[in-house]
Copies of this chain bind each other. A is one copy, B any other.
Amino acid sequence: MSQKSDGMNYAPQGKPSPVVKPGEFTFAAAFLEHGHIFGQCNGLLEAGAELKWVYDPDPKKVADFIAKYPQAKAARSFDEILADPAVKLVAAAAVPCDRGAIGGRVLEAGKDYFTDKAPFTTLEQLATAKAVVARTRRKYAVYYSERLHVESAMFATDLVAGGAIGRVIQVLGLGPHRIGNKAARPAWFFQRAKYGGILCDIGSHQFEQFLTFSGATDATVTHAAVGNYGNPETPELEDFGEASLLGNNGSTNYVRVDWFTPAGLSTWGDGRTVILGTKGYIELRKYVDVGREKTSDHVYIVDEKGEQHLNVTGQVGFRFFGQLILDCLNGTEKAMTQEHTFKAAELCLRAQLAAKRIA
């Protein structure tokens, strides 16, 4: 299970659940800098999309990709993909600082864009993307995988929206990640300007979850800090980050992200989400029930009636991808609104900007 030991190459697979017929929705994959591209493609393919092209400047990345997805044809240039009118959407996982500019090219070419998180590393990139979206009316979608591609988190999305725990007071998210073999990581991973900082990078998942679970549509950053506690040889790597937010509906958010998953953990990170409501709380043990079960998607619910433990693996699926395809075809926003997508991006950028360096 090497996939499970390494978050960067963790590409969940679900049950095929096509929302379109063969040929109705064609996409391309480009810029394969982060292993999330495989999760993005799996999700779209399971929802019925057809993968036509792949592009990356590095022939080895392209060859590895085609080994997994033989239906993909290697494009000679990114422009070759942009010039193909059959392509409706481009999925990409570029170096984070380049994601905004690439998205601009995709949207200007009349296609929708589906980028790995974090979608931007600066507020200027976000402002530019907002302008391009307004002008082109295309979609700038983001793979916030720690909710969208996690069954327990999608399960909690519905539970909370249904009022299971009353009014949400706080969303607390712990996002530890394994750094693994640092020599196998790309250079940009250790360059602050390229990956954007830890709250921007792996923090982005957390702020998206806060908005979703709390129902807040905006928030202020009340505290943020980052540090390098254990990686002096890569000084620009922030291996610890934390932030507190106050939502515009009075809900709060605390987030801790780090690169300190110990070698002994059976998966890449003991990701947790605790959602506290006025009538109960929910804890998600997303990737492992530590010390108990080496399976994912454990949901603990405590309410007025009692304590429940559910394992929802295989019970929920990943509806985001099919909804995204239909949104692209129909001009709807059922998978995620553009406003929500951009607000989550803004919050991770603002948290990063507010962060004090404490170690």
Query: What residues of chain A have their CB less than 8 Å away from a CB belonging to chain B?
Result: 166-167, 169-170, 172, 174, 176, 222-223, 225, 227, 229-230, 240, 242, 244, 246, 250, 252, 254, 256, 258, 260, 262-266, 270, 274, 276-281, 283, 288, 290-292, 300-309, 356, 358-359
Cβ–Cβ < 8 Å partners of A252 in chain B: 225, 240, 242, 358
Complex Cα spacing A286 to B21, Å: 53
Cβ–Cβ < 8 Å partners of A176 in chain B: 276, 281
Complex Cα spacing A276 to B175, Å: 12
Q: A246 touches which one: B246, B254, B301, B358 (CB < 8 A)?
A: B358
Complex Cα spacing A302 to B308, Å: 25
Cβ–Cβ < 8 Å partners of A301 in chain B: 291
Secondary structure of the A side of the interface?
A: strand
Cβ–Cβ < 8 Å partners of A229 in chain B: 167, 169, 250, 278
Complex Cα spacing A359 to B288, Å: 34
Q: A170 touches which one: B172, B256, B280, B304 (CB < 8 A)?
A: B256
Contact status A304-B264, CB under 8 Å? yes
Complex Cα spacing A270 to B263, Å: 28
Tell me how far the C-beta of A218 lies from the nearest C-beta in chain B, rounded to whole angstroms: 15
Complex Cα spacing A236 to B150, Å: 40
Contact status B358-A262, CB under 8 Å? no
In the complex where A262-B281, A264-B307, A278-B260 touch, is A227 in contact with B244 (Cβ < 8 A)? no
Contact status B280-A291, CB under 8 Å? no
Cβ–Cβ < 8 Å partners of A264 in chain B: 280, 302-307
In the complex where A230-B278, A262-B280, A307-B265 touch, is A169 in contact with B223 (Cβ < 8 A)? no
